[in-house]
A = this chain, B = another copy of it.
Amino acid sequence: MSWEEHVRRVDPYIPGEQPKDKDIIKLNTNECPYPPSPAVLEAQKAYPYEAGRLYPDTEATELAESIAGFYHVPADQIFVGVGSDDVLSLAFLTLFNGGGEVLFPDITYSFYDVWASLYRIPYRQIPVDDDFRIHARDYYDAPGGVIIANPNAPTGVLESVDFVEDIVKHNPGTVVIVDEAYIDFGGTSALPLIDRYENLLVVQTCSKSRSLAGMRIGFAFGSKNIIRYLKDARFASNSYPMNGMQISLGAASFRDAAYFHEICGRVVQTRERSKEALRGLGFSFPDSKTNFIFAKHERLTGREIYEQLRNRRIYVRHWQKPRIEDHLRITIGTDDQMDTLFSALREIVETTA
């Protein structure tokens, strides 16, 4: 027997490109176009570098408490991790361990089937309808659990809190995870439901609305019980998952509520303008409540536009996958970046047969 037969083989998730070239207009990975809060810079300057010699606080208390303060949730109902990917990965491992199929939509965050495969969790993908809507009844009595992104990605479609509750209520025997990475751009969080449903985990991130993708901070809300299970698994994997900088700079970000609201507002304003502009250029899209728009042109293929934009040094996200190959996921940038995008699209639309 070869040593390679002992290896767990997996197909990794393929993230969007991170070009090093600064003059590319980067609308491909849903980052925030504005810098992190100035409070983060202050925390960076104030961080006592000598503290680096000591292990960090295993519970990341300062960060958990600043999240608790912002959302008015007790700290023992909060779990933090190295980006929401880390939180979700651990949640798959820990909470979808029953052996039954976990349900999620066919068009959604493409990491879900990767985590399920990594941990050998059976799953079933349920088609969204032609308007990219998810139907709650498709998720009743799930054999192994449910994960729903709300708003969904890459579609941008938001469902209501009642919709989430409908799914949770019909799954008392399994865990329901709601991935709210994009909730801060116009959605209503399912957070209040955690007081009524012990089996609900609500996951959010600092990568989008707090402009901290580079710091890798994700978090989740749930019952004391579900959070305790996650922490047990976490501390059975890495007892010091968050470094001192993450804890301190992340905490500073949550303390600056005004800046958070300001940048979310600016993104939403630019998004609404962008919807008008894209419609005028012959694009259609499901209404977006996120920091991106999932748009399809009336005449040109997704691949064609994607490549022509790329030639003009504008990156958007495109998947060569059934049902969505003619769509582009366009991150909302600054107003200037979007104007450059619209000019480029106008040229492409006018000059391409």
A-side residues, CB < 8 A to B, are 1-13, 15, 18, 26, 29, 31-36, 40-41, 44-45, 47, 49-58, 82-83, 85-86, 89, 93-98, 100, 111, 114-115, 117-118, 144-145, 171-175, 198-199, 207, 211-216, 225, 229, 231-246, 249
Contacts and interface: CB of A to CB of B under 8 A. Distances in A.
A234 B225 CA distance: 28
A244 B145 CA distance: 34
B198 A89 contact: no
A262 to B, nearest CB: 14
A7 B237 contact: no
Number of copies: 2
A13 B235 contact: yes
Given A3-B172, A53-B212, A211-B52, A237 B58 contact: no
Main secondary structure of the interface of A (DSSP, over half): loop
Given A33-B53, A214-B56, A236 B10 contact: yes
A261 B45 CA distance: 28
Contacts of A117: 236
Contact of A3 (B1, B51, B174): B174
A111 B234 CA distance: 12
Given A36-B50, A85-B240, A86-B238, 5 more contacts: A12-B234, A18-B56, A29-B55, A45-B45, A214-B243
B174 A236 contact: no
Nearest to A20: B57
B55 A11 contact: no
Contacts of A214: 51-56, 243-244
Given A235-B13, A243-B215, A54 B115 contact: no
Nearest to A218: B238
A4 B223 CA distance: 12
A245 B45 CA distance: 13
B15 A229 contact: no
Nearest to A102: B6
B55 A213 contact: yes
18 contacts: A1-B98, A6-B96, A6-B174, A7-B97, A12-B234, A15-B240, A18-B58, A32-B53, A40-B49, A40-B52, A45-B45, A52-B249, A53-B211, A54-B213, A56-B213, A82-B241, A83-B240, A213-B240
Given A44-B47, A55-B15, A97 B6 contact: yes
B198 A13 contact: no
A99 to B, nearest CB: 8
A197 to B, nearest CB: 9
B18 A89 contact: no
Nearest to A50: B35
A100 B174 CA distance: 31
A207 B83 CA distance: 22
